[in-house]
Structures are given as structure tokens and as C-alpha cells.
């Protein structure tokens, strides 16, 4: 349904959305690899503020760093909130420097950003990253996709009629994979492969309520189409 000209988030916007929605990350320094869960925030300049983990390894390593900062990698993994094949949608890796920001907080200043997705890898410029905004649906997407998937027979199965015929034929299951202001992405799976198709919204959805309305527009369009074959069911 979606031609190559369909609007999509830029790599910088995707990266900012991953940062906004992530609940955890991994920080790697020369001496330690630390998993942080619910212990970070992101400021307007895309800097990471790390609230020092209880074991204090990072702060201790930083305290003896020769120049007062510490080279580090921060890694984020974006996982689809529904059960699809190959659930990792993206990996975002930031290279940069850790420094202290008060007694209990570390700040990570990125020097390099790389976004790896299923269709390739993109180096995101730091200016682009700082200027980009997370998608309006980023922090709501997981819940919205889970609700769509839970009502599969009433929503996703009809929406699957909007997929190109070649993606419907042979598909054993279709599930919602991604939601952003530009549209909804469905993943159709066959026994040995899968394909992702974007169903574009008529207008950009600037908030979750508008995204729901646009999905209803897609659903009305889909249900108006004749049903020629048995569509895949959720499993």
C-alpha cells in the first residue's frame, strides 16, 4: 500500500524515539559493563543523565579517571511489544564520555550515534540528534500496539486486507509492528520469512488520540474492501 515516497521518521527521529521509550540501557567502559534499568533520563540536548546504580562501579571508575571523564558506550535495544519473529526492531549505540553531574548523577555526552535497523545501519549526526524530537507516539506505542494485537480479529485481521496481495498470500500471521505519527506498520509472516508494510495515515498524528482516529480511518477503508480469502489469525 505504501509507495517509496511515503513519509517515515528520519534516523535521528527514530533514535530519539528509542531514547524516549527505552526503560533500560547498557553502559560499557574499559573496566565495567553495567545494566541500568529505570535509572536514566534524556535531556533536550540528547544527553543521558545516569542516576548512579547502587553498586557504584561507574562512579568509582570515573573518580580515578585521569581527565575527569570516562570513555564509554551506551547501548539501547528497541524490542517489539508484541510477539513477532525477530522482535528486535532497532539497536542504538552511543559512543561518548561520562562525567560527574553532582554527587549522585553522571552525564553521558554522546560523540557518535549509530542506529542499526533491519534494513541497514545509519550514522546519526550529533546536531541532527540534538535537534530531532521523539515521535509523539513513542512513549505510548507499546501499549497501543499491545491493545491492537489483543483485539486482533476486530482490528489487525481486517487491516491486513490493506496489504499488497503478494504479502497476504502465504502469510500465516499478521501483527502490528510499529506505530508512529506517519502510520502503522504491519508484519506479515510466512513459515520461512517475513515482510513489513507501512499503512500510511492520511494526516500526521500529533498525539495518541489522533493516531487512534487515523487507525479507525484505515479500518473503515479496510472493511470496505471485499474479503477474498481467509486472512491469517493471531497465534
% of the chain at pLDDT higher than 70? 94
- Rounded Cα gap, residues 186 and 173, in angstroms: 10
Give tens-digit pLDDT for 121-170: 999 999 999 999 999 999 999 999 999 999 998 999 999 999 988 888 88
Q: Report pLDDT for 226.
A: 67
Cα end-to-end distance, the chain, whole Å: 25
Domains of the chain, start order: 11-131 (2.30.110.10), 140-224 (3.20.180.10)
Reported pTM: 0.89
Cell representation of residue 49? 543523565
pLDDT band at 70 (very low <50, low <70, confident <90, very high): very high
Cell representation of residue 211? 493516531
Contact 231, 168 (CB under 8 A): yes
Q: Report pLDDT for 168.
A: 83
Q: Report pLDDT for 5.
A: 67
- Rounded Cα gap, residues 11 and 183, in angstroms: 16
Q: Say whether pLDDT at 3 is over 50.
A: no
Contact 98, 54 (CB under 8 A): no
CA 180 to the chain's CA centroid: 9
Cβ-based neighbours of 156, under 8 Å, separated by 6 or more? 148, 149, 174, 175, 176, 186, 234
Amino acid at each position: 500500500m505504501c509507495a517509496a515516497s511515503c513519509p517515515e521518521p528520519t534516523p535521528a527521529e527514530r533514535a530519539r524515539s528509542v531514547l524516549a521509550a527505552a526503560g533500560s540501557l547498557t553502559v560499557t567502559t574499559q573496566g565495567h559493563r553495567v545494566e541500568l534499568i529505570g535509572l536514566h533520563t534524556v535531556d533536550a540536548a540528547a544527553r543521558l543523565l545516569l542516576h548512579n546504580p547502587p553498586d557504584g562501579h561507574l562512579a568509582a571508575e570515573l573518580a580515578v579517571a585521569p581527565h575527569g571523564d570516562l570513555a564509554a558506550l551506551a547501548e539501547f535495544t528497541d524490542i517489539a511489544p508484541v510477539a513477532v519473529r525477530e522482535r528486535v526492531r532497532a539497536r542504538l549505540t552511543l559512543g561518548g564520555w561520562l562525567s560527574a553531574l553532582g554527587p549522585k548523577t553522571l552525564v553521558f555526552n554522546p560523540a557518535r550515534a549509530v542506529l542499526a535497523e533491519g534494513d541497514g545501519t545509519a550514522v546519526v549526526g550529533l546536531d541532527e540528534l540534538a535537534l530531532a524530537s521523539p515521535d509523539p507516539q513513542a512513549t505510548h506505542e507499546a501499549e497501543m500496539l499491545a491493545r491492537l494485537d489483543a483485539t486482533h480479529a476486530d482490528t489487525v485481521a481486517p487491516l491486513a486486507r490493506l496489504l499488497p496481495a503478494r504479502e497476504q498470500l502465504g502469510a500465516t500471521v499478521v501483527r502490528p509492528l510499529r506505530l508512529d505519527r506517519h502510520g502503522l506498520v504491519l508484519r506479515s509472516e510466512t513459515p520461512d520469512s517475513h515482510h513489513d508494510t507501512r499503512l500510511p495515515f492520511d494526516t500526521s498524528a500529533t498525539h495518541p488520540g489522533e493516531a487512534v482516529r487515523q487507525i479507525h480511518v484505515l479500518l473503515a477503508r479496510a472493511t470496505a474492501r471485499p474479503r477474498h480469502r481467509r486472512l491469517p489469525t493471531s497465534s
